[in-house]
Amino acid sequence: MTIWPWAAYILFALNVTFAVVIIFLERRDPSATWAWLMVLFFMPFLGFFLYLVFGQNLSRSRLFDWDDKKKVGIEEQIDHQKQAIKGSVFPFANPHTQENAKLVYMLLSHNDAVLSEDNSVDIYIDGNAKFEALIEDIRHAKDHIHLQYYIFRFDELGKKLIHILTEKAREGIEVCVLFDDLGSRKLRRHHFKELIEAGGVVEVFFPSPIPYVNLRLNYRNHRKIVVIDGQIGYIGGFNVGNEYLGKDPSFGYWRDTHLRVKGSAVHSLQTRFILDWNQASKQYDFIYAERLFPVPTTKGNVALQVVTSGPDSELEQIKSGYFKLITTAKKSIYIQTPYFIPDASILDALRIAALSGVDVKIMIPNKPDHMFVYWATYSYAGELMKAGAKIYIYNNGFIHAKTIVVDEQLSSVGTANIDVRSFRLNFEVNAFIYDYESGQALAKNFMDDMLVSYELTPELYHQRPLIIKFKESISRLLSPIL
């Protein structure tokens, strides 16, 4: 009988220890700090376990390094561009970029996001069209194929892609595949047996040393990058799986946004892939080679920056980019995101924009794939409606796009949702685009999607049942750690 008081004292001491760690050592956002304190003290034993799995802080870790990065010439470009922009002598190729020089400078200074203005960009909103283009580009690869996805399923689409990659490896093409251990948790190395035998190389990001137990469960590589011959790059929201072709009845049609890029921006995608690859690699690290960074054969006129963020940094670069985009809006802000759990800064920026007369439209799904996140999304959407923002519920399947379009001339497309997980916990990548035609195309996509959506009016929102209000309240309370 005497063991239980001692167990209670030990449990209490552990909770106090973790509370001290969270408050004084981790230096978290206050809302996340309070959320973790609630978990620790209201669920003592379970909270202890949850903190071990979900509460680690990677911001002081140096995860990504590449000794040959200097040879790419990125540092020289960054210094030159920073000095030229600061001195107001940068030769911007289009007025949209010049008008947003401060955003360019911020992303350049804090994320090494080199500005390139010679790109061509194709926008894909349908999975069948995107993968048809990707497979065609892979078939024509002459030197290398670097492919990275958060989710890679061993289903009809996944098998088809592996088969084509195997064919290219047999031709002597360098094929490297990187996938996330959690996102692709049902994928195994033996699924790539033929590809590996053909000379392809496969790596896993943050793999678990123990089956089904991953102490880095909370920090995942959510990026989707493909680089072919250093000339063509893909970036966006589509993963590899049948559901992204609209073949999963539980989701229906899958609406996403992905970019196919040609131009100097592909060098930035290549660098990001190599950094991620070398972190995960146990057998084959990249060294610099000119073939990986060839002179672009296609000259376009689209200006963009490739911006990355992750838990290894405290700067939250993509979130800062979102914030700057929102605060520069003069006429309109169109947002599509499956998860809308903004932190205080993004929420205030959107609220102020709406109150200032900016046309703020936000489109979210009509069905959940993560229950708590879904109801938290509804809670924040309801709050913004009070400021005059318009909320649209996509009703033609599932919307997974992560896009922001400002004044139909500035935009961001990538992997980052508007939630704490994307801002602070996941490794993400977005393209920030300074181009009128691209902005117009993305805005038109939004308007077309409105035709298959319904507006969540204040009247509809207030009619929701009491149980829904309860779910929203609980989910909102947990939102800092979702």
Q: 3.40.50.1000, 3.40.50.261, 3.30.870.10, 3.40.50.2300: which CATH number matches 317-481?
A: 3.30.870.10
Q: Do domains 67-77+114-305 and 317-481 have the same CATH topology?
A: yes
312 — pLDDT class (breaks 50, 70, 90)? confident
Q: Catalytic one among 130, 222, 319, 324? A: 222
Determine whether 361 is an active site residue: no
What mean pLDDT comes out for the span 270-284? 91
> CB-side exposure of 275: number of CA atoms within 13 Å?
21
Stronger pLDDT, 17 or 367, i.e. the higher one: 367
Q: Catalytic one among 146, 224, 262, 267? A: 224
Query: In the block, which residue shows the tokens 């024509």?
Result: 140
Q: Catalytic one among 112, 137, 407, 449? A: 407
**Which pLDDT score is estimated for 115?**
97
Measure the CA–CA gap between 415 and 398, rounded to whole angstroms: 16
Q: Shortest CA distance to 382 belongs to which of 457, 466, 453, 478?
A: 457
**Which pLDDT score is estimated for 461?**
79
Determine whether 330 is an active site residue: no
Q: Catalytic one among 191, 400, 419, 435? A: 400
Domain ranges of the chain: 3-54, 67-77+114-305, 317-481
Determine whether 400 is an active site residue: yes
Query: Across the chain, which distance is largest between two alpha carbons, in Å?
Result: 79
Q: Catalytic one among 180, 229, 419, 449? A: 229
What mean pLDDT comes out for the span 402-422? 96
329 — pLDDT class (breaks 50, 70, 90)? very high
Determine whether 224 is an active site residue: yes
Determine whether 168 is an active site residue: no
What residues pair up with 202 in beta bridges, in sequence order?
177
What residues pair up with 180 in beta bridges, in sequence order?
205
Residues 413-467 have pLDDT tens digits of: 999 999 988 998 899 999 999 999 999 999 999 999 999 999 999 898 787 777 7
Q: Write down the CATH number for the domain with range 67-77+114-305.
A: 3.30.870.10
**Which pLDDT score is estimated for 176?**
97
**Which pLDDT score is estimated for 47?**
61
Burial 207-231 (b: 16+ CB within 10 A, else e): eeeeeeebebbbbbbbbbbbbbbbb
Q: Catalytic one among 96, 258, 267, 402? A: 402
Measure the CA–CA gap between 381 and 187, rounded to whole angstroms: 35
Determine whether 324 is an active site residue: no
